[in-house]
Each structure stands twice: as C-alpha cells, then as structure tokens.
Amino acid sequence: MAQNPMSQTPLAPKLPDLAVEIRDVNKLYAGGGKRPAKQALSNFSLEIPRGSFFGLLGPNGAGKSTMINIIAGLVRKTSGTVKIWDYDIDTQERQARCAIGVVPQELNLDPFFTPAELLEVQAGLYGVPKAERRTKEILEVVGLADKANAYARALSGGMRRRLLIAKALVHTPPVVVLDEPTAGVDVELRQHLWRHMKELNARGTTILLTTHYLEEAEELCDRIAIINHGQLVACDTTRALLRRIDNKAVIFTLAQPLTAVPEALARFHATLQSPQELHVNYRPSDNAMHAILDAVHAANLAVADMRTEEVELEDIFLQLTASPATASPAQAAQ
C-alpha cells in the first residue's frame, strides 16, 4: 500500500503563516459553438491565515465554486499559483492534496457501507497506515460513534453531513474546505453542525467555508472574503467588514403617543413609524449616541423601551455585489 505523502515529506518545523496562498489566479473556460469563452477568475489573489475560520462568499456565477474546485484539485487553473500549507498544487501535488480535506455539498456516500467502513476505505485511499488510523476517534468527534456499524443509507440527512466531515478528516489535514455544509438542512441541525465546525477550528484546523447563508458566515467566520465577477472585492476581518457601512438605527418605544417629531430630534432625521415608535437613523461617525439621548431628554419624551439595529453582513454583501467588480488591489486589500 502506498505511503502517505505527508509522512514522506514531513511538515517543516516552523508551521506556515498561511494555510492557503492564492496568487494572480486566472481561469478561462473555453467556449464552444455559439457559446463564448468565460473568464471565471481574473487575477484572483487571496491569503488564508493558519488557524482561521475563513469565509468565501459570492453570488451565483461569481467564481467561488471555480476557486474552491481549483484548491480541491478538481479544476485546472489557466495561470497563477496556489499553495496549500506551503505546498504548490502544481509542483507538490501529492503533498498539497494530503494537506486538505474537502467536504462537498453533495451527499456522495456509498449507502451499502457503514460509517466505520467508509472511513477505513477513505484512509486507505490516502495511504494512512492501519496503525495510524483514527476511525473511532473521528466518529466520536462528529457524534457518530453510536452509528459506526449502521449502514449509511439508514442515517438521517444531518448524520450524513457529519459523516462527510468525518471522511475529510481521516488523513488529519491541517486545512478543511466546507462547501455549503448546511445547504437544505433545518435550523436545529444547522446549529448542531455549527457547533462541530467551531470545535474543529478550536482544535487548530484551518477552515475555509463557502455558504449562501450570510448569517452563518457572520456567526462562524473570523475573516471573510467576497468575490464578484471573478475578482476579489473585499477581504477583511468580519468585524471590520461590518464597520464599512456607517449606519445604525435606534428605535424608541414611547410611553405616550406623539403626533409629530419633536424639534430637538429634527436634526437627526427622526421619523415616526407609529404614534409610539420613534426611529432615528444615524451615522456613528457623525453623531454620538449620547447626543441623541440628550435630544430625547430635551424633548421631555417618556421612553418605555429602546433598541438598536446594527448593520448586518447582508448589507455589506449587497453593496459590494450589486454591480460588476471594479475594486482595485488596494481597495480589496487584505
């Protein structure tokens, strides 16, 4: 049986700072017949720090899937360089493949194998010696130890999702790609999978997540990149991205109804949504909250309740992907 390439070429004593490094990648799909050629990626560059929980977001057709498939070795890039755990996917292909585990969106499981058998087969394909296999341990990590000997076809949809994650971990890759891992699952199962993903990342695994659920990326990812029309349009920490839209709202529920906005609040462009609900949209960079509260006090308003509405990742996403990408490298600085 072939030896695991990772054991043939041990990792350098100093771990790489970047789990994935993408430089000036282009992908041109050739046309055929009346179909024109398509530039799926255009000088795409991205750095994914070691140990991060990294989100790659983009609308349909943005080039996200193409980039993921290049990283996974399923699509050949036209030009550029990609390194996984400091291994070049062209010149050190076997080492690069062993440094990554991919959890696909599709449930591609053999229904006639048990979870334990599927993990053993997967480990064999990666050349993991039997003495080094961690089938039982991995099944415990994903919460499937009690289903180790049940047929895959008998597992629920959520269990199959977890089994896909388990398959990606058999060769102990330092980088795991989760491609739409919660697509089509219910809220309870999504929360359960989120916990497993967080635990995996807490153990030191770098995670690259693609998802159409923006609240999922906002909840899980410490860093997010947004791709549109094959170009990188944003890459920053999740917190910094949310600060890009300088807008907040504070909603006051009043103890007594109003018929008009008090003069003291007019300069804040306050509006009455109902006789007892006053909305104030403001730019934090221009107006401090204490100034709004002072105006409420000056207007002698009796406030029964107050809440704020923060900017969500969806607002940033829509702003950045509403039109073709025109960001310069400086604008998409990492």
**Band (327; pLDDT cuts 50, 70, 90):** very low
Please write the tens of the pLDDT for every residue from 21-32. Answer: 999 999 999 887
- Lowest-confidence pick of 17-26, 85-94, 189-198, 225-234: 189-198
Q: Is the pLDDT of residue 325 over 60?
A: no
Q: What angle do CA 163, 217, 200 make, to 5 degrees?
A: 40
**Band (267; pLDDT cuts 50, 70, 90):** confident
Higher model confidence: residue 56 or residue 281?
56
Distance between CA atoms of residues 224 and 231, nearest Å = 14
Please write the tens of the pLDDT for every residue from 164-173. Answer: 989 999 999 9
Q: Is the pLDDT of residue 4 over 80?
A: no
Higher model confidence: residue 20 or residue 109?
20
- Lowest-confidence pick of 146-160, 187-201, 236-250: 236-250
pLDDT value, residue 334? 42
User: In the chain, what are the domains?
Assistant: 5-242 (3.40.50.300), 248-310 (3.30.70)
Mean pLDDT across 323-330: 43
Under the phi-then-psi rule, with left for phi > 0, alpha for psi from -120 to 50, and beta for the rest, what region is 241? alpha
Please write the tens of the pLDDT for every residue from 114-170. Answer: 999 999 999 999 999 999 999 999 999 888 999 999 999 999 888 898 899 899 999
Closest CA to 81 of 40, 116, 46: 46
pLDDT value, residue 312? 67
Q: Is the pLDDT of residue 309 over 90?
A: no
**Band (223; pLDDT cuts 50, 70, 90):** very high
DSSP state of 75: S
Question: Do 150 and 115 form a contact (C-beta atoms < 8 A)?
Answer: yes
Closest CA to 311 of 284, 288, 277: 284
The average confidence (pLDDT) of the chain is 86
Higher model confidence: residue 50 or residue 216?
50
pLDDT value, residue 283? 74
pLDDT value, residue 201? 94
